[in-house]
Structure 1
Amino acid sequence: MTRYFEYGDEAIAYLKSRDAKLARAIDAVGPVHREMEEGDLFSSVVHHIVGQQISTAAMHTVWARLRDLLGEVVPATIVATSIEDLQACGMTFKKAEYIRNFAQSVQSGAFDLAAVEHMDDAEAIAALSSLQGIGTWTAEMLLLFHMGRPDVLSFGDLGIHRGMRMVYHHRKV
């Protein structure tokens, strides 16, 4: 069953009450039904690394190849796979290296993904962005669209910048 990012009427009413231009934009756009990511946090992190700086179509292709290669995207299957075989799925050497290092750190217990789920937003972003291949923006996207954290605003997101420029008629935000 598809999960959608949830935000309530109270949050929308609050935002609309704080800014008339934003209120008009919210009314014009209407409800946004953004699908949440499926699977566990581990596979979601890997999926985000795979998808960085490539088209959506390319990301789907590489992800399908990776899932076909591994059977299951879990630390053990990635650790048991060479960087060259990961790279052969269509990703760069660096991405394959980041994914393998991440899997090793989770498998060894050096990185505790379960703990991340229970951290506050700032701690979770700091923990995730401490990983090679995961920056602040990617960590924020994981919190929003995997963990469903409603109070994360990605100030570095180009889509948010573009939207703010459109709403407020600024050249840059």
Structure 2
Amino acid sequence: MIRTRAEYEAGLAHLAACDDRMAHIIANCTKTMFDFDSPVAQVEPFEALSRSIIYQQLSGKAASTILGRFLGLFDIATDPSSPGAVPRQTTASAPTFPTPQQVLAQTMEQLRSVGLSGRKAEYLLGLAELCKDGTITRDKIMGLSDADLSKLLCSVRGIGQWTVDMFMMFRLRRPNVLPVGDLGVRRGMTIHFTKTGAVAAKKKNELISIDDMIRLAEPWVPYRTLGSFMMWQFQDMQIPEPSN
């Protein structure tokens, strides 16, 4: 787990030492992967995974609108700037998300009324049941390896490996995740590691293979999460080639 900015910087230094071109990307990347003001220990798996389900296959604006309406079912305040948000009186201790028990108390009709599809409503209810009965808890997920956590969460309807990878990377700050199913990372690695990368990255059938992703990312271990983030950034970056 990457808990501090110092640990984050140590990971970037490892990547830079592995690869001169990666060092050049890091030097030109202005974004930081984590908000270090939000402790990992406060991550609530039910909230994080529910948000992922709600946002699946929707534009950010549409998903934000549905999320605001969903929270409104429980009289939870939302960001007034968010589409569909209903501002309410709130305090620093006010809840930011319903509990599994509160979601389970809703009918399918109530969940559908906020814009959720029937399938997503079923996914949320299924996840809520697993969180309520103790199958998924914060303490449990913190104690599982990446492989075991992936196995547990991928067994939940509506949650696939990409969602699990994003959860482990951004919410749990696990340092060595390589999201091979993410198109952005794959494109970035194609540009970074192949001579015709910029051209090949525009054609899905010319992207590097998953086996190649795993092999080429081996030097990034134990910081493949940070390497993947750099590849996300690199695919959209306009930076000069490093001088020899």
Could you tell me the TM-score, scaled by structure 1's length? 0.86
- Contact map agreement 1:137 1:157 (CA 8 A) in 2: yes
More helix by share: 1
Partner residue in 2 for 1:89: 114
Describe the SS at the equivalent of 1:70.
coil
1:57 is the counterpart of 2:81: no
Q: CA RMSD in A?
A: 2.3
Partner residue in 2 for 1:47: 51
The percent identity for this pair of structures is: 28
How many pairs are equivalent? 169
Counterpart CA distance in 2 for 1:31 and 1:67 is 30
1:17 is the counterpart of 2:21: no
Q: Report the AA paired with residue 15 of structure 1.
A: L
- 1:158 counterpart (159, 183, 204): 183
Residue 82 of structure 1: how far off its partner (Å): 1.0
**More moved, 154-163 vs 33-42:** 33-42
Counterpart CA distance in 1 for 2:153 and 2:20 is 35
Q: Report the AA paired with residue 18 of structure 2.
A: R
Partner residue in 2 for 1:145: 170
**More moved, 68-77 vs 163-172:** 163-172
Partner residue in 2 for 1:119: 144
Residue 44 of structure 1: how far off its partner (Å): 0.8
Partner residue in 1 for 2:92: none
- Contact map agreement 1:98 1:133 (CA 8 A) in 2: yes
Residue 31 of structure 1: how far off its partner (Å): 4.6
Counterpart CA distance in 2 for 1:70 and 1:101 is 18
Partner residue in 1 for 2:126: 101
Unaligned runs of 5+ in 1: none
Counterpart CA distance in 2 for 1:146 and 1:59 is 19
- 2:161 counterpart (136, 141, 145): 136
Describe the SS at the equivalent of 2:73.
helix
Counterpart CA distance in 2 for 1:31 and 1:105 is 35
Residue 56 of structure 1: how far off its partner (Å): 1.2
Q: Report the AA paired with residue 14 of structure 1.
A: H
Unaligned runs of 5+ in 2: 76-96, 201-206, 209-244
Residues 90 and 160 of structure 1, relative CA distance in 2, 3 Å threshold: same
Residues 118 and 39 of structure 1, relative CA distance in 2, 3 Å threshold: closer
Describe the SS at the equivalent of 2:15.
helix
**More moved, 14-23 vs 33-42:** 33-42
**More moved, 24-33 vs 121-130:** 24-33
- Contact map agreement 2:43 2:172 (CA 8 A) in 1: no
Q: Report the AA paired with residue 19 of structure 2.
A: D
Q: Could you list the per-position Cα deviations for residues 84-126 of structure 1 after superposition, in whole angstroms to 9, with x for gaps in the alignment?
A: 21122112111110101111222233x2323112111111121
Counterpart CA distance in 1 for 2:164 and 2:33 is 21
- Contact map agreement 1:5 1:145 (CA 8 A) in 2: no
Describe the SS at the equivalent of 1:8.
helix
1:67 is the counterpart of 2:71: yes
Describe the SS at the equivalent of 2:116.
coil
